[in-house]
Amino acid sequence: MAGKISKTDQRREELRERLIGIAEARIAAQGLASVKVRDLAREAGCAVGAIYNVFTDLNGLVMAVNGRTFRKLGSHVSETVAERPQDRAQDQLITMSLAYLHFAQGNHNLWRALFDLDMSTDMDVPQWYLAELGALFALIAAPIARIFPDWPGDRVDLMTRTLFSSVHGIVLLGLQKRISGVPLDRIEAMIAALLSNVTAQAGKP
């Protein structure tokens, strides 16, 4: 029995994928708060209890959606950078930041779910989360290390986290319609203002 791929396991895996897709569509269309077990069960054609055979709870399902979103985010950023291989390192930082902004704007609810869920629960982060985050950080660290060739690794790492957090903050508050209501080109200008200040320091102590 152990290790076998039974017909049961196939159905479970199929249901799992179906539920992730349904939840993903719901989050994208109506936001994280619109994900309800009874709606999911009805749309997936299963019983409410079946969801708990495949995921430990609703958070686990949303976590799976977040996994997809995080991978899409990473792909979007890295592919956008890869499209412009002749860019200077300074421009790569801007390209990546704008890619982050545009992904967040184009997938607002899914992007927000990445952070809204993590806040409410206090369980520790799954390892795929840290792996994706590390890959994203590595992507940012590369141009920084090229801009500041004489910086030690830990200083590059600190600047990597600083810039990521800063851009994240700009995007987060910028897209928060009810607070600031900033148009998109102003958010882009803020990112450019931030990064031009940092990269202009190249060659200085």
Neighbours of 155 (CB within 10 A): 13
In b/e form, how buried is each residue of 133-153, taking b as 16+ CB within 10 angstroms? Answer: eeebeebbbbbbbebbeeeee
Could you tell me if 94 and 163 are in contact, meaning their C-beta atoms sit under 8 angstroms apart? no
Site string for its own copies, 120-149 (x = CB under 8 A): x-xxxx---x---x----------------
Cα separation of 80 and 85, whole Å?
10
Check binding of 3 to DNA (CB under 7 A).
no
Could you tell me if 174 and 201 are in contact, meaning their C-beta atoms sit under 8 angstroms apart? no
Check binding of 56 to its own copies (CB under 8 A).
no
Cα separation of 24 and 114, whole Å?
12
Q: Which does 12 bind (CB under 5 to 8 A by kind): its own copies, DNA, none?
A: DNA
Check binding of 188 to its own copies (CB under 8 A).
no
Q: Which does 189 bind (CB under 5 to 8 A by kind): its own copies, DNA, none?
A: its own copies
Binding site for its own copies (CB under 8 A): 33, 112, 116, 118-120, 122-125, 129, 133, 158-159, 161-162, 164-170, 172-174, 176, 178-180, 182, 186, 189-190, 193-194, 197-198, 200-201, 204
